[in-house]
Amino acid sequence: MMIPAIDLIDGEVVRLYQGDYQQKTNYQYTPLERQQAYANAGAKVMHFVDLDGAKDSSKRQLATLKQLVNHPDMIIQVGGGIRCEDDVKQLFALGADRVVIGSLAIKQPELVSEWLSKYGSEKIVLALDIKIDENGNKTLPTHGWIKDSGVNLEDLLAQYQDAGIKHVLCTDISKDGTLTGTNVSLYQEVCDKYPQIHWQASGGIGSLEDIKALVPTGVKGVILGRSLLEGKFTLEQAIACWPSK
């Protein structure tokens, strides 16, 4: 499944290069226009990141998000600076179908596991940004990739499996925003090891060939951000690359 992604700052469509707010690109259409174009092209799930909320949860773009989350034909998942349960409740109250949780999922897995039990596995998406060292260790930096959490992927997932985690958005941070191809071997490995998880592959998609390379891995979704915004291919073309079943 193709999952178009839109990052938002001050109600505008933007992209950051490898999470750096100083390397920002603005695009000349509104989030609503872009969302409707993706819906018309056949998207069934969309991913929004509130970058203002990620910096400061008191500055969450609620007015913009409210326009976007109540879509009749798409499942909408929203992330960006989820720091407490009130943030989760706020997004669900707006109408979001799924809440995406990043740094907090790494720092407080017991708390987020409670939310999984409370709201259900369809409602929570873990966003795990992975840094792979020369020995193949998969660590999980937090706070915009600045801080080393000291946590590795396998240990974290062991905690969440018992809580029934279903959706994990996984980004190889060395690939994010680069359009240079995705880490196929990473997704093959995690899908083989954790087949019960619906993996969303994110980072590096720059061509239709990059999408096709992910088909055999078993990922359930492919996040498409910059590649669609910059017209590397159309969403219709991307969807046509993916098996319908």
* Residue 20 annotated in active site: no
Specify the pairing of strand 167-172 against strand 124-132: parallel
Exactly one of 7, 87, 97, 172 is catalytic; name it.
7
Which residue of the set 52, 129, 172, 210 is catalytic? 129
Distant-in-sequence, close-in-space partners of 165: CB < 8 Å, separation ≥ 6: 116, 121, 124, 126, 157, 197
Rounded to an integer, what distance in angstroms lies between the CA atom of residue 40 and that of residue 19?
A: 29
Element (H, E) at 6: strand 2-9
Q: H-helix or E-strand containing 132?
A: strand 124-132
Q: Which two tokens stand for residue 13?
A: 């469509």
Residue 244 makes CB contacts below 8 A (sequence gap 6+) with none
Query: DSSP 3-state helix, strand, coil percentages of the chain (rounded to 5)?
Result: 40, 25, 35
Known catalytic membership, residue 86: no
Token pair in block for residue 230: 């910059």
DSSP assigned state of 142: B
- Please list the active-site residues: 7, 129
